[in-house]
Amino acid sequence: MRIDGAGAIVFGGASGLGEATARRLAAEGARVTIADLAQDRAATLAGELGARAVRTDVTDPDSVAAAVDAAVPDGLRILVVCAGVGTPGKLIGRDGPTPQEHFAHVIAVNLLGTINALRLGAAVMLAGAPDEHGERGVCVLTASVAAYDGQIGQVAYAASKGGVVGLTLPVARELAGQGVRVMTIAPGLFDTPMLAGLPEAARTSLAATVPFPPRLGDPAEYADLLEHIVTNPMLNGGVIRLDGALRMAPR
């Protein structure tokens, strides 16, 4: 899929991995729509990139539909889902079982939010004309290494990201015949706002657990991989760990 001139939407595009993705796609000539709850930050970034910003709640189908509609005039070809939350919580807390609402919220954002963006964006892609290579679009989702080796306290997060991993192949198979590819990236420890609130000593300790390179990942490295996925037509239906050989310890 050619990036230059393509319409793209990045859910969670106002910060972290999503911001790096929006910057890369815009730099390569895509017409980018940034869909994010952080409206002011999204608008500022959109102004810098010459992109469009739409306040979007991925748990709300109408909100996602409005964001996708905003991207339609650009000829939507690229969809990226980076929106997510990492709220920690054990199955059993100090006061007993953790309330179900905690798990429901994380799964609603990370898993159902991904499905919302994917189903509504892919429907638009299917309605479009294929390019000269028969492609109508590329969808790139974001899971996590927690899908495979979630830590204690990551019950909802690991379950939600495991769901994203699990849906990648069946959706790719469903859409393949109509020229839409689906891939998922499973990042390890990246220098994003999700880790920014930790004390520096904790960040340094986490970075040291990565075999090589022994540091936190740079969001630009996520964007590097995403760019390759979009432009390489043989990448479809898979999940790529982007983690420096990290395997998370139990805690």
Answer yes or no: are the C-beta atoms of 145 and 209 closer than 8 Å: no
CA distance 90 to 213: 30
Q: Which of 11, 103, 157, 190 is catalytic?
A: 157
Beta bridge partners of 183: 140
Task: Assess whether 157 carries a catalytic annotation.
Answer: yes
- Residues with Cβ within 8 Å of 204's Cβ and at least 6 positions away in sequence, in order, are none
Helix (H) or strand (E) holding 52: strand 52-55
Q: For residue 74, give Cα distances in angstroms to 29, 69, 162, 178.
A: 12, 10, 32, 20
H helical segments located in 50-179: 61-71, 100-107, 113-127, 146-149, 155-176
Instruction: Report helix, strand or coil for 79.
Output: strand
Helix (H) or strand (E) holding 19: helix 16-27
CA distance 100 to 181: 34
Q: Quote helix, strand, coil % in the chain, to nearest 5.
A: 45, 20, 35
The catalytic residues are: 157
